[in-house]
């Protein structure tokens, strides 16, 4: 179903995109002094593309990255997790290609003509997810329930109860929220076979919560993708959560050492860099996607020869306390111990006050009084899971570890994607692109 290219063919396809890129003003300047790559080493010598590059050089701010006039195209926003709007354009043919590969990934999850699929992604604001999922559902021939995630969650649940979908597709954040309310209202969905998520990873704790609340037979990733680059990874039935096949006919994917830019061997974690092989109107060449991953050794049991990789998380998602990097997965594990009393939608907030740090965990809950009652135990669990919190308080550089219950759905969401903000590090000065 997915094209499987050899290593030489992959590089040749990427170099073909590089040739087109050189015809644009942006890349012509960026690639000065770099000859056409002849092997993987010379390919890795090419400069990487950053989010700031996209912000500064894409339509309507600029046409410097375009290889053709802005005609017969669509404009999408790829503001993503940063909340800063970036725009990109692609031709209708290119969007069709993006939709084709996403549909192939959906078909691998067993979605077909007999399914009723609730599309619960956010629509509007130039965000492509909702219309992209529509195209994928149409291609596999399923019945589309275009409910969206923009309407009140009570309405979403009402539509789902009325139409009894066999599959629901949305963000992990949305599914956690839906599971919270479904359990609160004692609501069930008898025919629900698949909860398919995209846009961010779903922790094992969140998956367990969604299974309890919504009762699907299966929970799976729709793929690893971005609005800028399209599908970068797809799952077969043998892929554990967080594992993906690389679609070699659609994407040139590298995992490199973030310090020296050298290729990471299988088993070694590094930064993911992608080059889309379908976009000619606005080439995406060696794009720093902002994620960390690891190539895996050996073939997959499914027989697909496309290499597999593990998505290890968001670059910069973890936070630092007393010289130690703390994973958000630790927060998820602590919250999971109190499932049913607090939600898994929570935000860590770190603030420096007078040279001392305050740690706050704002956590959504259906019953605020009950959540307040369990807060001391949750605080103790966090200090047990994160020894730096206890040590920091003992040494005096952490003045407080506060658990703050908040109403369901009240944590900050990205206005474009609907993703809940997970970390608010007030110790870091954050500047938006100029």
Mean pLDDT for 362-370 is 96
pLDDT tens readout for residues 110-140: 999 999 999 999 888 888 999 999 999 999 9
For CATH 3.30.300.30, list the domain ranges present in the chain. 319-425
The CA distance from 194 to 106, in Å, is 11
List the one residue out of 196, 174, 175, 239 whose CA is nearest residue 106: 196
pLDDT tens readout for residues 242-272: 899 999 999 999 999 988 999 999 999 999 9
pLDDT tens readout for residues 35-69: 999 999 999 999 999 988 998 999 999 999 999 99
Query: With 70 as the cut, is the pLDDT of residue 17 above it?
Result: yes
Query: With 50 as the cut, is the pLDDT of residue 383 above it?
Result: yes
The CA distance from 299 to 293, in Å, is 17
Pairing relationship of beta strands 346-353 and 224-226 according to DSSP bridges: unpaired
Query: With 60 as the cut, is the pLDDT of residue 200 above it?
Result: yes
pLDDT confidence tier of residue 82, bands split at 50, 70 and 90: very low
pLDDT confidence tier of residue 351, bands split at 50, 70 and 90: confident
**End-to-end CA distance of the chain, in Å?**
43
For CATH 3.40.50.12780, list the domain ranges present in the chain. 7-96+223-314
* 3-class DSSP state of 367: coil
- Angle in degrees, CA 49, 55, 56, rounded to 5: 90
CATH 2.60.40.10 fits 319-425, yes or no: no
Mean pLDDT for 260-289 is 96
Q: Is the peptide bond before 60 cis (omega within 30 degrees of 0)?
A: yes
Strands across the sheet with 243-245, in order?
A: 243-245, 308-314, 287-295, 270-276, 251-256
Can you give 223-255 as a three-state secondary structure string? CEEECCCEEEEECCCCCCCCEEECCCCCEEEEE
**Which class is 7-96+223-314 in CATH?**
alpha beta
List the one residue out of 311, 277, 287, 317 whose CA is nearest residue 51: 287
Of residues 218 and 205, the one with the higher pLDDT is 218
Mean pLDDT for 84-112 is 93
Task: Report long-range pairs for 147-150 (Cβ below 8 Å, ≥24 apart).
Answer: 147/118, 147/119, 147/120, 148/119, 148/120, 148/121, 148/122, 148/123, 149/120, 149/121, 149/122, 149/123, 149/174, 149/418, 150/122, 150/123, 150/124
**Which class is 110-221 in CATH?**
alpha beta
For CATH 3.40.50.980, list the domain ranges present in the chain. 110-221
């Amino acid at each position: 179903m997915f094209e499987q290219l050899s290593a030489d063919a992959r590089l040749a396809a990427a170099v073909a995109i590089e040739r087109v890129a050189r015809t644009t003003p942006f890349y012509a300047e960026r690639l000065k002094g770099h000859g056409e790559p002849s092997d993987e080493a010379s390919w890795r010598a090419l400069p990487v593309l950053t989010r700031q590059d996209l912000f500064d050089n894409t339509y309507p701010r600029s046409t410097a990255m375009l290889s053709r006039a802005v005609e017969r195209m669509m404009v999408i926003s790829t503001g993503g997790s940063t909340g800063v709007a970036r725009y990109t354009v692609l031709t209708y043919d290119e969007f069709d290609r993006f939709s084709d590969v996403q549909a192939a990934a959906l078909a691998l999850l067993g979605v077909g003509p007999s399914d009723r699929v609730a599309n619960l992604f956010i629509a509007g604001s130039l965000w492509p997810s909702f219309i992209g999922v529509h195209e994928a559902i149409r291609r596999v021939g399923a019945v589309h329930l275009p409910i969206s995630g923009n309407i009140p969650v009570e309405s979403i649940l009402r539509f789902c109860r009325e139409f009894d979908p066999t599959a629901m597709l949305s963000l992990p954040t949305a599914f956690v929220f839906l599971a919270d309310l479904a359990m609160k209202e004692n609501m069930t969905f008898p025919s629900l076979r698949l909860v398919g998520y995209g846009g961010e990873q779903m922790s094992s704790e969140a998956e367990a919560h969604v299974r309890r609340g919504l009762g699907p037979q299966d929970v799976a990733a729709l793929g690893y993708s971005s609005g800028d680059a399209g599908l970068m990874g797809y799952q077969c039935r043998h892929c554990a959560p967080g594992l993906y096949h690389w679609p070699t006919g659609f994407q040139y994917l590298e995992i490199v050492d973030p310090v020296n830019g050298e290729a990471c061997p299988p088993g070694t974690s590094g930064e993911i860099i992608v080059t889309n092989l379908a976009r000619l109107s606005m080439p995406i060449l060696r794009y720093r996607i902002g994620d960390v991953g690891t190539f895996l050794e050996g073939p997959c049991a499914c027989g697909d020869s496309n290499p597999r990789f593990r998505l290890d998380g968001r670059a910069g998602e973890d936070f630092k306390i007393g010289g130690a990097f703390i994973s958000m997965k630790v927060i998820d594990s602590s919250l999971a111990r109190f499932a049913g009393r607090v939600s898994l939608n929570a935000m860590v907030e770190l603030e420096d006050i007078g040279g001392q740090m305050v740690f706050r965990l704002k956590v959504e809950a259906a019953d605020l009084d009950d959540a307040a009652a369990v807060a001391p135990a949750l605080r103790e669990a966090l200090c047990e899971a994160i020894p730096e919190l206890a040590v920091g308080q003992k040494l005096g550089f952490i003045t407080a570890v506060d658990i703050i219950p908040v109403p369901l759905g009240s944590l900050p969401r990205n206005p474009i994607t609907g993703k809940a903000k997970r970390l608010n590090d007030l110790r870091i000065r954050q500047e938006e692109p100029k």
